């Protein structure tokens, strides 16, 4: 989405930027957060795309605060609610992944506690949830939410780290 915020906090590309030859990058907005295992995450996300026969052209993760994501939710989606993830699909081709995935680090931390899982596992679930939306999966009703959760679990099993 071309009108999305583009200003990003200064960051060390070794910690967050795109991996060599990868179309995946990790950015941070208005939160103190460092992406752990960036190389492994990139490989895992690429593996998920390959399994679904998609190619990643450009995938940007933006880790942010609840307030930052809430503002995007109101401004771009007209939803006055807090959420853990918002995905914008920018792809022109059906078998290509090109998009932005905004993730509230605060909401992921809260959800991890609520669901009794580690922050790492909940973060990975939310990250791959965004990718699944870019692959065409929906979660608007109970049936599709159940299918989405199953796909998330399947994708989490593809992690090798």
* φ/ψ of residue 112, rounded to 5: -60, -45
Domains of the chain, each with CATH number or no CATH? 24-156 (3.40.390.30)
Residue 24 DSSP SS3:
strand
pLDDT tens digits for range 139-154: 999 999 999 999 999 9
Q: How far apart are CA 127 and CA 142, in angstroms?
A: 21
Q: What is the mean pLDDT of residues 55-66?
A: 98
pLDDT tens digits for range 3-19: 454 334 444 433 444 44
Q: Is 139 annotated among the ligand-binding residues?
A: yes
Query: What is the rounded radius of gyration, in angstroms, for the C-alpha atoms of the chain?
Result: 15
Sheet-wide strand order for 96-104? 24-28, 55-64, 96-104, 85-89
Close Cβ partners of 153 (under 8 Å, ≥ 6 residues apart)? none
Q: What is the pTM of this model?
A: 0.88
Residue 62 DSSP SS3:
strand
In this structure, what DSSP letter does residue 37 have? S
pLDDT of residue 77 exceeding 90: yes
Q: Is 129 annotated among the ligand-binding residues?
A: yes
Q: How far apart are CA 138 and CA 134, in angstroms?
A: 9
pLDDT, residue 22, reads 82
Query: For residues 17 and 62, is the Cβ–Cβ distance under 8 A?
Result: no
Q: In this structure, which long-range contacts are made by residues 118-125, counting pairs with CB atoms below 8 Å and at least 24 apart in sequence?
A: 120/36, 121/156, 124/41, 124/44, 124/156, 124/159, 125/152, 125/156
């Amino acid at each position: 989405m071309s009108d999305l915020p583009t200003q990003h906090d200064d960051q060390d590309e070794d910690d967050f930027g795109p991996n060599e030859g990868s179309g995946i990058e990790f950015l941070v907005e208005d939160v103190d957060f460092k992406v752990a295992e960036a190389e492994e995450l990139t490989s895992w996300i690429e593996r998920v795309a390959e399994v679904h026969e998609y190619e990643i052209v450009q995938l940007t993760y933006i880790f942010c605060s609840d307030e930052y994501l809430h503002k995007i939710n109101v401004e771009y989606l007209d939803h006055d609610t807090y959420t853990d993830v918002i995905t914008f699909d920018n792809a022109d081709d059906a078998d290509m992944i090109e998009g932005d995935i905004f993730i509230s680090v605060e909401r992921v931390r809260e959800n991890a506690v609520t669901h009794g899982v580690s922050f790492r596992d909940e973060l990975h679930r939310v990250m791959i949830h965004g990718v699944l939306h870019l692959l065409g999966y929906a979660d608007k009703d109970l049936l599709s939410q159940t299918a989405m959760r199953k796909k998330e679990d399947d994708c989490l099993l593809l992690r090798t780290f």
